[in-house]
Amino acid sequence: MSPTLHHLYSFRRCPYAMRARLGLLFAGAQVTLREVVLKNKPAQMLAISPKGTVPVLQLVDGTVIDESRDIMQWALEQQDPQKLLRKDILPSANALIEQNDSDFKHWLDRYKYADRHPEMTQLEYRQRGESFLQILEELLTKHRFLLGDDASIADIGIMPFVRQFAHVDREVFYRLPYPNLQQWLQHWLADPLFVQAMIKYQPWQEGDDTVVFPS
């Protein structure tokens, strides 16, 4: 275990953890990665973050950051070579991420797990979620990325959730009338940093060899 690196508790398929890893990658930060099994969360993680959700970043000084947005923000405040935290777009980026995390995530969960929420049909849940997709599509008719011709924290903060929405039924998603959004998602899925963020690691247990991310 390296005392000079922060520890990141993560879960590969969680969109919140994805965007935290992307924030660290874009910042060029290295951490020790501790892949979590959500059904068997390590006691070390629960001791520092009792709410038991990933991601959790424990800094070398003991500070704990256990919200994905805060991890992205912290990482990019340390170093931001691609200027994802541009001050001119930050208020718009924060508002868009907030809408993603509240309204869109609500309908995304019900679309993905429609059998657990029989109050509406899966189609109805998908259509509710599409209200946010329509906003993103409109933004992408103007620029290559959500808030301009360069990527911002809004793109990496929202993309994992659009990916999850698309993966509920890929055939349906790519038939929807959102060509710019579909192209934007494809761009991110092929981005080398996202590919790196999605490398599979074995679940972490106390005593395991240190896994440095990115390696």
Please state whether beta strands 6-10 and 31-35 pair in parallel, antiparallel, or not at all (unpaired): parallel
- Any bridge partners for residue 213, and if so which? 31
Residues 117 and 36 in one domain: no
Compute and round to an integer the Cα radius of gyration of the chain: 18
Residues 100 and 176 in one domain: yes
Residues 62 and 97 in one domain: no
Residues 125 and 102 in one domain: yes
What's the CATH number where 173 sits? Answer: 1.20.1050.10
Residues 179 and 94 in one domain: yes
What's the CATH number where 71 sits? Answer: 3.40.30.10
Residues 65 and 158 in one domain: no
Residues 187 and 199 in one domain: no
Q: What is the pLDDT of residue 4?
A: 86
Note whether residue 1 is domain-resident. Answer: no
Q: What is the pLDDT of residue 3?
A: 59
Q: The whole model's pTM is what?
A: 0.96
Note whether residue 64 is domain-resident. Answer: yes
Q: What is the pLDDT of residue 1?
A: 42
Domain tally, the chain: 2
Residues 179 and 122 in one domain: yes
Residues 109 and 181 in one domain: yes
What's the domain range around 42? 6-83+195-213
- Number of helices and strands in the chain (H, E): 10, 5
Residues 79 and 122 in one domain: no
Note whether residue 167 is domain-resident. Answer: yes
Q: What is the pLDDT of residue 2?
A: 46
Note whether residue 129 is domain-resident. Answer: yes
Residues 42 and 108 in one domain: no
pLDDT values of the chain reduced to their tens digit, one per residue, 215 residues: 445 899 999 999 999 999 999 999 999 999 999 999 999 999 999 999 999 999 999 999 999 999 999 999 999 999 999 999 999 999 999 999 999 999 999 999 999 999 999 999 999 999 999 999 999 999 999 999 999 999 999 999 999 999 999 999 999 999 999 999 999 999 999 999 999 999 999 999 999 999 999 98
Note whether residue 49 is domain-resident. Answer: yes
Query: 88-126 burial string, b = 16+ CB within 10 Å, else e?
Result: ebbeebeebbebbbeebbebbebbbebeeeeeeebeebb
CA pair distance 214, 88, nearest whole angstrom: 30
Residues 125 and 199 in one domain: no
